[in-house]
């Protein structure tokens, strides 16, 4: 189906990739066998995995992987970096008081800090950060990092939620996350280290998983769901970006589907 904020983003892919070291050996491997996992969850979408050690992309639906969508709550990663860099928050323990407005997700109805706001994807917390950052500083850091299409038109506290101009592809998500993991974004080493810490969702003796969900309303029959991040395991890193069309009840499918495909890609052990 078509989304109002969706467009092909080959130019954005090239711009994001230019900020990374050239890897002439990077290859693309199409994985039609991954269709089975999408069918098992009864969803359509794309999954892109970059195996850093092998310099190889594995992809299901490359065309969609190169198509830009609103980043939704995956933008919290960038928002946190900018809030830290501008001094809007001092560290991951910076608390904002709940405004008393009851929201649909019960865990949002309390005070939060940068870390818990990331963990529970607390929209109001990160909207307040964006308001405090302001449009001028936000645009400066968007441009400096080359994030997505760099378009923050719309409300300053919602331009990433499908109500404004910002869009990024799965390829662009991975380019951004690779720079975060390597510490080569134009933010301080301290800001990047804090954000790497607060994006860890699972840590075992075998691997560390960094991840962030996203959900954007499209106004159509289905919304858009993201799951992006990277796996550190055995001295290697695998970066991933999944997006799917989502309907009621599909929220848990993002992490479940990504996990199953990361196993197939060799990033995670069989579960």
State which residues form the domain around 233. 7-264
Q: What is the chain's pLDDT, residue by residue, as a tens digit (271 residues)?
A: 334 333 333 333 333 443 454 455 689 999 999 999 999 999 999 999 999 999 999 999 999 999 999 999 999 999 999 999 999 999 999 999 999 999 999 999 999 999 999 999 999 999 999 999 999 999 999 999 999 999 999 999 999 999 899 999 999 999 999 999 999 999 999 999 999 999 999 999 999 999 999 999 888 889 999 999 999 999 999 999 999 999 988 999 999 999 999 999 999 999 8
Task: Return the CATH number at 17.
Answer: 3.40.710.10
For residue 269, being part of any structural domain is answered with no
pTM: 0.91
Report residue 75 as tokens: 């933008």
Q: Is residue 2 part of a domain?
A: no
Predicted local distance difference test score (pLDDT) of residue 149: 98
**Please, what's the b/e burial string for 51-86 (b: 16 or more CB within 10 A of its CB; e: otherwise)?**
bbeeebbbbbbbebbbbbbbbbbbbbbbbbbbbbbb
User: What pLDDT was estimated at residue 90?
Assistant: 98
Spot the catalytic one: 18, 44, 73, 153. Answer: 73
* Helix locations, 93-188, DSSP H: 114-119, 123-133, 135-145, 170-182
Report the domain count for the chain.
1
Q: Is 121 a catalytic residue?
A: no
* 170 found inside a domain: yes
Residue 36 lies in a domain: yes
Rounded Cα gap, residues 228 and 240, in angstroms: 6
Does 179 map to a domain? Answer: yes
Domain-located, residue 271: no
Residue 113: how many CB atoms within 10 A of its CB? 18
């Amino acid at each position: 189906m078509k989304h109002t904020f969706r467009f092909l983003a080959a130019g954005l892919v090239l711009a994001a990739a230019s900020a990374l070291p050239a890897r002439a050996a990077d290859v693309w491997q199409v994985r039609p066998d991954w269709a089975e996992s999408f069918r098992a969850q009864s969803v359509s979408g794309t999954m892109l995995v970059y195996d850093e050690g092998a310099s190889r992309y594995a992809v299901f639906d490359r065309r969609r992987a190169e198509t830009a969508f609103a980043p939704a709550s995956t933008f919290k990663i960038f928002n946190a970096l900018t809030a830290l860099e501008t001094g809007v928050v001092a560290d991951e323990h910076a608390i904002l008081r709940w405004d008393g407005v009851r929201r649909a997700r019960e865990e949002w109805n309390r005070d939060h800090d940068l870390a818990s706001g990331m963990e529970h994807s607390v929209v109001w917390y990160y909207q307040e950060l964006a308001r405090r950052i302001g449009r001028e500083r936000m645009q400066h850091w968007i441009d400096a990092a080359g994030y997505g299409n760099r378009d923050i038109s719309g409300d300053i506290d919602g331009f990433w939620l499908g109500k404004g101009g910002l869009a990024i592809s799965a390829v662009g998500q991975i380019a951004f996350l690779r720079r975060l993991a390597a510490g080569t974004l134009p933010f301080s080493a301290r800001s990047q280290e804090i954000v790497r810490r607060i994006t860890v969702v699972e840590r075992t003796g075998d691997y560390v998983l960094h991840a962030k969900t996203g959900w954007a309303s499209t106004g159509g029959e289905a919304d858009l769901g993201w799951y992006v991040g990277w796996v550190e395991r055995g001295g290697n890193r695998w970066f991933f970006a999944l997006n799917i069309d989502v309907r009621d009840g599909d929220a848990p499918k993002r992490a479940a589907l990504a996990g199953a495909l990361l196993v197939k890609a060799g990033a995670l052990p069989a579960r």
